[in-house]
Structure 1
């Protein structure tokens, strides 16, 4: 797997590593940042103070946390995505119709990015907030998109990010993954059997352009006790495929 620390400007890389660490730890002191990232305490302090001055992090009595200014950047980036504006009402309808979690994902830099999520009346609380990034092969959404990418591009993504096991059911074998791609293209949707979140199942359909390349994917996820039988094998897939198709038409021809 290729290193992700080969950014041309080291200082920028360090600052972003610090922001990522603050997110993962839900806040950290200067010493904790220095120890976790192997930095001199003075270097960690200088970066944290700079980030604070730029209003990107906040200092709560020595505990640094990610600031809400990132919401401004994220909100702007999402607003500029046509797929978000078109997909949002379809996701809301899907969530209301099924009572479950409805999700919209795009691929960026080889990761799956949750662009929008909507919750039905029976939806469970998940970690898939807007902007959350995951390994593509761990979700039905990601697999639905990968099935419609160039094979070389998929292999580049796998080489760069690997195929980590998030649960016991995560697909970690490349040959098995590519075999699933054939099934996804044939049936029109992808399935996730507790591959990223235990006891949760998901069905996703790709959003394609005129060349059958994935622009994103839409899904319904819910507890495995509710994602069974006819509902899981027919009703949910049809609803997801329909929503993806509506988004496709509006994306390509509106």
Structure 2
């Protein structure tokens, strides 16, 4: 295969993104040898990729430490993502109100294609967010209340296609890991209109999520809350009511924001 072959170019792009993931995993960055070992790529190929990424400023060479770190272009990508996913001030306010009314960490996630992106989180020292659910988190749909809402809006073939691409990794011993069990769970979500997650993503945290819909009834995203399991079981019914009200307010706020001139938005 020649260097100008489109498939060869695509492979190089995939390796470059995989390299960035390796560099991002450690706050100190990574050595070329670390990258070679993690990706099973020969060192000469790693150095060629690094040279390209350093030139584009997506990676920086930390010469004194003999390591490579994320470059400053990555920050501009993060800034652009926050702008594209931007959360209207009215929605931020509704999420803050949900946090206060539910006495729980509160989240707003948007759906972009078949991806879930956490767009806004409100928590407190008393009711901390689930780690690593911060802005931009997009993972484990089968193991999160956000994801169950999204998957419940898909038909059987779409869910199967999603799972084929993303898999069903066991995040904890409680994670649903078979398509049949997930299908039963999604049927409950459709019937009840609220998704429940009991320590399926991380131990020590349980979640509820409700869909946010547009005027045509299409699901735009969801709002969710997380609590420690004992509080969750004791307060689930009351919190569900607050959550549904919040989802309705967020939906109205989004519809109003779309119908108005662009105003301030934040990540």
Please give the range of the TM-score, normalised by the shorter of the 2 chains.
Answer: 0.7 to 0.9
**5+ residue gaps, structure 1:** 1-5
8 Å Cα contact 1:110-1:136 kept in structure 2: no
State the TM-score, normalizing by the size of structure 1: 0.87
Specify which of 29, 32, 35 is matched with residue 34 of structure 2: 32
Q: Which residue of 2 aligns with 1:81?
A: 85
> Against the structure 1 CA distance between its residues 109 and 250, is the aligned structure 2 distance closer, same or farther, given a 3 Å change threshold?
closer
State the TM-score, normalizing by the size of structure 2: 0.83
Alignment partner of 1:235 is 2:241: no
Q: Which residue of 1 aligns with 2:186?
A: 181
SS of the residue corresponding to residue 228 of structure 1 reads helix
Alignment partner of 1:157 is 2:162: yes
> Against the structure 1 CA distance between its residues 65 and 96, is the aligned structure 2 distance closer, same or farther, given a 3 Å change threshold?
farther
Larger Rg computed on CA atoms: 2
CA distance, structure 1, for counterparts of residue 81 and residue 245 of structure 2: 26
Alignment partner of 1:246 is 2:249: yes
Query: CA-atom RMSD, angstroms?
Result: 2.3
Q: Which residue of 1 aligns with 2:21?
A: 20
SS of the residue corresponding to residue 241 of structure 1 reads helix
CA distance, structure 1, for counterparts of residue 51 and residue 249 of structure 2: 47
CA distance, structure 1, for counterparts of residue 200 and residue 72 of structure 2: 31
**Cα offsets for 1:70-112 (capped at 9, x unmatched):** 2322232232236555532222222233342211223346443
Cα shift at 1:205: 0.5
8 Å Cα contact 1:189-1:203 kept in structure 2: yes
SS of the residue corresponding to residue 124 of structure 1 reads coil
CA distance, structure 1, for counterparts of residue 102 and residue 77 of structure 2: 32
**5+ residue gaps, structure 2:** 1-6, 260-267
